[in-house]
Structure 1
Amino acid sequence: MPPPTATNLGYTPPDGGWGWAVVLASFISIGFSYAFPKSLTVYFKEIQEYFGTSYSEIACLSSVMLATMYAAGPISSILVNRYGSRPVVMVGGFLVGVGMVSASFGTSIVHLYLCVGVIGGFGLAFNLQPSLTIIGTYFQAKRPLANGLAMTGSPVVLFTLAPLNQLLFDSFGWRGSFLILGGIVLNCCVAGSLMRPVRKMVMSKPKAESSDCNETAAAEAVRTEDSSDKLSCVQRFIDISLFKDRGFLIYLVGNVVLFFGFFAPVVFLAPYAKHQGNDEYSAAFLLSIFALSDMFIRPLTGFVGNTKWIRPKIQYFFAFAVSYNGVCHLLCPLLPGYAGLVVYAVFFGFAFGMLSALLFETLMDLVGAKRFSTAVGLCTIIECGPVLLGPPISGALVDVFGEYKYLYYLCGVFMLLPGIFFFIMHYYNYKKLDEERHKAAAEMRTAEDTVHLNLGLDEK
């Protein structure tokens, strides 16, 4: 097992035990968070006809839900820091259920925006961040594997909900289906109940080190007492100092760019296949292939990321995954016929799954488990812009040129450039971290030599 990265948790994570029940709960909660908005597209055509709306208006339903989920990230982070993951996830599942049940009585598209998009989006945000955060409290050495398994929930739930939604739609229509889905999503409350706080086993320290630490902590407490009293209520729960963290800024800048091209290739895969003259079932089968590849690669990525060769430099692995996505999109228009789309769906599923499995693990690696909740909240509210704008911008290219290839070229650029950026900047970051460690070690040795010298003079 590779040595765990230092996260200054102050206790030894169990790296197993009840932690695997927490991973299962996160699997369910994360799965609904990402898969639920995508699975609702089955009902769009009937809802569009029922309310007499345009396709763009009905398509905004999933976009509003996803954007709200990302925008509500900081609120979710504050609640997690204050109350813990368990109650926040349970409230989130309840909110999504209430939103779907209320939407089943909808009288207008605006009513659906409010119930499904806003209320449901807030509920999904309360499911996502706590599920990601609590894994970091239970796992350290096995954290990449645990994150990879939890993130597998997204393709598994999507793969399950897609045929289930079609069955519900055929039997009960969109109103009855929304009512039933409101009950199904309450399973997130059950998942939240499994997320009990970790039992912290404090790490013991040598007596001499403990004495020095106590003296240092006491002095530090005196120095910071006045300044801590001046902190605002928000600053107590949101660590604004993250914007001074080099690794966090690298992650944030690259992710803002890559999210412009993250979701659009999935959204337009089936329409692209139909545009080439393939029937609806063949086009839908591409999404199944994509989901199966995604489902297979996520736990494997977590296993590989946990090896002693990859774990110490996992940021390079993430940079490879981002670049791999870009290359897949750039090559997609060059692949001939339906067979080419099948090949693309397989390799894109691998690429998308690798990136998704590493997306939050790399952030936790950069900022540590203690600051992760705040970090993911700040990231998601900034990323909600690209999440909301990416598919419409890509779709505009199809409207202008009448071809899908330019959409995939653009998404390829949006993914390849941040991939290269990550390789370069994380090489710089790793180099600076090594320099800072060597400098700190040298200063510590100098301090120890000074203490020994003073002790020697006192003895004389």
Structure 2
Amino acid sequence: MAVTKEEKFEEGRRASGAATPPEGGWGWMIVASCFLATICIRAVTRCVSMFFVEFQLHFEKDYSSTAWIHSLIDSTTMLCAPLGGFLGNHLSCRATVIMGGLLSSTGLVLSSFASSLEHLYISLGIVTGLGFALSYTPAIAMVGRYFNERKALAYGIALSGTGIGTFILAPAVQLLIEYYSWRGALLVLGGFVSNLCVCGALMRPLEPRGCERMLENNMGNLEKDGIAVNTKTLSRCHSFCLESREEFGFLMLPDFLILSVSLLFLAYGCSAPLVYLVPYSLSVGVGHQQAAFLMSIFGVSGIVGNITFGWITDRKCLKKYRMLSYMVAIGLEGLCCMFVPLLHSFSLLVPFSVFYGYFDGAYVALIPVVTSDVVGSTYLTSALGVVYFLHAIPYLISPPIGGCLVDSTGNYTATFFLSGASFMFSSAVLASALLVRRCRRSKSNSTAHLSPNHITAAASQQGII
């Protein structure tokens, strides 16, 4: 019987000698570290939208030009995600997260001295975004290394930091802007983001894998026997082992390719609504504090979505439906976007923030889970780097395109409608792939149950033979 590409890949993954996830212990400290990291990275990135109106008024620019700031920080974070994964694999997750913390904190501090939008493009968009990229991928991948059976719940708790951070930081940032101006607020955020260094310090790696463990054991045995160790030979063997891991073999898996196409549309849809929620709220007469409160509601709902979907999809009876849960969350997220132009008051925007935040938290928590289900935990760091890399271009172009639509139409209808359509198409791509697979599976099963005599008789009846 022929062995499929997925089966060959899985055999190689099992043979790589990955350390067994401890399912707890220090793993919960890794979850706590990732939780704080997502606050410092994703929640702070979301709160950059709180500065949108301030930047626009101070530099006297249009929507499209100002939107490039948020686009750059988001797209740089995702564009450089493979670099974070690479350094996390070959240097260490701990060192990579600490480097990212230092770089992103420096970028925010430099942004507080900006004298033009171009300055912010570089300091806030590129420097801070690069720092976030170095920290984000290794921090998330570490959770997958420490958990397997309770992976979805662990990711749900860890990634709920985005929602909790948004809930706390949105009104806090608004107060900082009011009391210290946008420059002072960026300076304070720069100090806050330096906590990524603390997160990195807590990320203790698991035991060495595969041939690395073998080399260490051999060195210990040789030292005990009093035999000199040829370090040059060992280093060559070590390099050979690193090169033979085939870290990116998952790129040829059909499941991963389909997931990648879906992620491109998902990334386009999820960026613009966050950027334009506050400006849209202000345009329909909602006050600044109420607009900030909408972001807080969005954050709290995201927490509930993170944890509930993580807990539910960890149940044994539901584990095989993780992809389906992910698809449903994306589709309902798009449906929420479609209704935004009909909401013209704070009381109507509150339910939107609740539902949009809930489904946002649900699919965000499931992205690393479904990715791990496809490629395995051994290659999760590299796979997440590619997954977040795919977000880069959509994140870059989505807010400016939304800004151009606002500038040309004078309203936000087209912007939110396009985002909603992207969400729903992303879900449709996965649904189509699942349907095609199910049809092929049922056809192969029905063929397998037919004996040669049955096939000959059926063919004779139809006049084939």
Q: Given the two structures, how large is their TM-score scaled by the length of structure 1?
A: 0.79
1:379 pairs with 2:387: yes
- CA drift of 1:264 comes to 1.5
1:388 pairs with 2:396: yes
Tell me what 1:439 maps to.
none
Tell me what 1:132 maps to.
140
Tell me what 1:413 maps to.
421
- CA displacement, residues 123-180 of structure 1 (integer Å, 9 cap, x when unaligned): 1001110011111110000110001111101111122222332333334333333333
- CA drift of 1:428 comes to 4.4
Tell me what 1:116 maps to.
124
- CA displacement, residues 194-253 of structure 1 (integer Å, 9 cap, x when unaligned): 100124799xxxxxxxxxxxxxxxxxxxxxxxxx99x99997687443331111101100
Tell me what 1:189 maps to.
197
Tell me what 2:217 maps to.
none
Unaligned runs of 5+ in 2: 1-9, 211-235, 445-465
CA contact (8 A) 2:302 2:360 kept: yes
CA contact (8 A) 1:73 1:377 kept: yes
Greater shift in the superposed pair: 282-291 or 231-240: 231-240
CA contact (8 A) 1:297 1:350 kept: yes
Over the residues paired in the alignment, what is the CA RMSD in angstroms? 3.2
SS in 2 for 1:371: helix
Structure-1 separation of matches of 2:20 and 2:114: 50
CA contact (8 A) 2:171 2:292 kept: no
Greater shift in the superposed pair: 289-298 or 336-345: 336-345
1:361 pairs with 2:369: yes
Tell me what 1:344 maps to.
352
Tell me what 1:98 maps to.
106
Tell me what 2:456 maps to.
none
- CA drift of 1:294 comes to 1.3
Structure-2 separation of matches of 1:269 and 1:366: 34
Structure-1 separation of matches of 2:125 and 2:344: 38
Tell me what 1:403 maps to.
411
- CA displacement, residues 353-402 of structure 1 (integer Å, 9 cap, x when unaligned): 11111122111111111111111222222321111112222333333333
- CA drift of 1:258 comes to 1.8
CA contact (8 A) 2:329 2:362 kept: yes
Distance 1:339 1:107, change over 3 A: closer
SS in 2 for 1:14: coil
Structure-2 separation of matches of 1:232 and 1:57: 48
The AA in structure 2 aligned to 1:152 is S
- CA drift of 1:26 comes to 0.4
Greater shift in the superposed pair: 236-245 or 15-24: 236-245
Distance 1:41 1:398, change over 3 A: closer
Tell me what 2:284 maps to.
276
Greater shift in the superposed pair: 188-197 or 288-297: 288-297
For 1:318-329, list aligned pairs within 5 A: 318-329=326-337
Tell me what 1:218 maps to.
none
- CA drift of 1:80 comes to 0.8
- CA drift of 1:285 comes to 3.1
Tell me what 1:302 maps to.
310
Pick one of 137, 149, 154 that aligns with 1:141. Answer: 149
Greater shift in the superposed pair: 276-285 or 307-316: 276-285
- CA displacement, residues 293-346 of structure 1 (integer Å, 9 cap, x when unaligned): 112221111111111122123111111111111222234445675543222222
The AA in structure 1 aligned to 2:73 is M
Distance 1:81 1:201, change over 3 A: closer
Pick one of 71, 75, 78 that aligns with 1:70. Answer: 78
Tell me what 2:44 maps to.
36
The AA in structure 1 aligned to 2:121 is Y
Structure-1 separation of matches of 2:38 and 2:393: 21
- CA drift of 1:44 comes to 4.5
SS in 2 for 1:352: helix
Distance 1:407 1:94, change over 3 A: same
Structure-2 separation of matches of 1:201 and 1:371: 12
CA contact (8 A) 1:257 1:414 kept: yes
The AA in structure 1 aligned to 2:40 is F
Aligned residues: 407
Q: Percent identity?
A: 32
SS in 1 for 2:391: helix
Structure-2 separation of matches of 1:186 and 1:318: 33
The AA in structure 1 aligned to 2:408 is V
Structure-2 separation of matches of 1:122 and 1:315: 30
Structure-1 separation of matches of 2:18 and 2:266: 34
The AA in structure 1 aligned to 2:34 is S
Distance 1:275 1:111, change over 3 A: closer
Tell me what 2:229 maps to.
none
- CA displacement, residues 394-445 of structure 1 (integer Å, 9 cap, x when unaligned): 3333333333333332222211122122123135457879999xxxxxxxxx
Distance 1:393 1:56, change over 3 A: closer
Greater shift in the superposed pair: 286-295 or 317-326: 286-295
Structure-2 separation of matches of 1:79 and 1:429: 36
CA contact (8 A) 1:13 1:200 kept: no
Q: Given the two structures, how large is their TM-score scaled by the length of structure 2?
A: 0.79
The AA in structure 2 aligned to 1:365 is D
Distance 1:193 1:432, change over 3 A: farther
Structure-2 separation of matches of 1:111 and 1:329: 32
CA contact (8 A) 1:13 1:201 kept: no
Structure-1 separation of matches of 2:416 and 2:111: 34
CA contact (8 A) 2:171 2:293 kept: no
Distance 1:312 1:49, change over 3 A: closer
Greater shift in the superposed pair: 275-284 or 89-98: 275-284
CA contact (8 A) 1:30 1:127 kept: no
- CA drift of 1:33 comes to 1.6
Tell me what 1:255 maps to.
263
The AA in structure 2 aligned to 1:102 is L
Structure-1 separation of matches of 2:416 and 2:202: 41
Structure-2 separation of matches of 1:411 and 1:12: 40
Structure-2 separation of matches of 1:283 and 1:182: 23
